[in-house]
Structure 1
């Protein structure tokens, strides 16, 4: 059983860019979800419809703490493009893998209705692994469901109440 253990942070400075690998344009569609935290996500790598070079489905389910069960399955790109058209909630972002110590770090730069949001994630081998949070990271948002990609696809940042944005210094 695959287990994803990650911590997430708002990005407040540009220092991560010097550590960034090539951009990976991603389109994510959410095909199903439940109040209990189960999700079925479609991911396409590539900006333009019809030009993706990889498509895959991810099934996620809650686990203890900030860990989640995660199962990924490659699917034909043509099937992914068809599912993208059927996805009721979608988002686009560009992901950058970072050459940063202390786990597998990525930064996601969100587009469209979630712009100008920038989030950092670090995947860890175990929940109790200590990390050094880089200076370009701001507030930790691990465990706040409003920041999940599924939630951002359903209720993008542009539709958040003003008080939510203010509480995170996003105005």
Structure 2
């Protein structure tokens, strides 16, 4: 089984934009967004992806992940089967030491939210935290994309 291990953080300023070596627009929907298992369709540039994720462990850092590249046409067709709500964001890639941080700047109902993730080989692996990294939110389900689809950032203050 493929295991995804990542830590997630809020971002304190937009200096990551100048430090990014790559950026791409991502639109994604969920065929299934049940707690503990998600099936995601993603369009990134001219490529499509189908991803299945399992439940997170107790720390919220690790979970099963399977991803397959599919054609853009297949992804567009599968998007029609998705639950209501779409995640729209730009992903910036920033190197920090031996790791790459993925910074997601959200749009639409999640406008104003910027989250950074770093993938690790094991849960206690050390990493160099870039200066724009703020509070850690690993394991806080509100920040999962599948949760942001159902309860977007713009509605958090009214809950």
In structure 1, runs of 5+ residues without a counterpart are 47-52, 164-171
Equivalent residues, number: 156
Q: In 2, Cα distance between the equivalents of 1:110 and 1:101? A: 25
Deviations 1:44-89 (A, max 9, x none): 013xxxxxx1001000002533101100012221121112122113
For residue 22 of structure 2, give the secondary structure of its aligned residue in structure 1: coil
2:74 paired residue number? 79
Q: In 1, Cα distance between the equivalents of 2:56 and 2:144? A: 15
Which of 138, 144, 151 is equivalent to 2:140?
A: 144
TM-score (normalizing by structure 2)? 0.91
2:111 paired residue number? 115
Q: In 2, Cα distance between the equivalents of 1:16 and 1:158? A: 23
- Cα shift at 1:102: 4.1
> Retained in 1: the 8 A contact 2:96–2:129?
no
Q: In 2, Cα distance between the equivalents of 1:38 and 1:2? A: 14
1:28 paired residue number? 28
- Cα shift at 1:117: 0.9
- Cα shift at 1:136: 0.9
2:16 paired residue number? 16
Note the 1:87-126 alignment, pairs <5 A.
87-88=82-83, 89-126=85-122
> Retained in 1: the 8 A contact 2:96–2:128?
no
> Retained in 2: the 8 A contact 1:19–1:100?
no
In structure 2, runs of 5+ residues without a counterpart are none
Question: Residues 117 and 149 (structure 1 numbering): CA distance in 2 closer, same or farther, change over 3 Å?
Answer: same
Which of 57, 66, 69 is equivalent to 2:64?
A: 69
> Retained in 2: the 8 A contact 1:114–1:152?
yes
Q: In 2, Cα distance between the equivalents of 1:22 and 1:33? A: 29
For residue 129 of structure 2, give the secondary structure of its aligned residue in structure 1: coil
1:38 paired residue number? 37
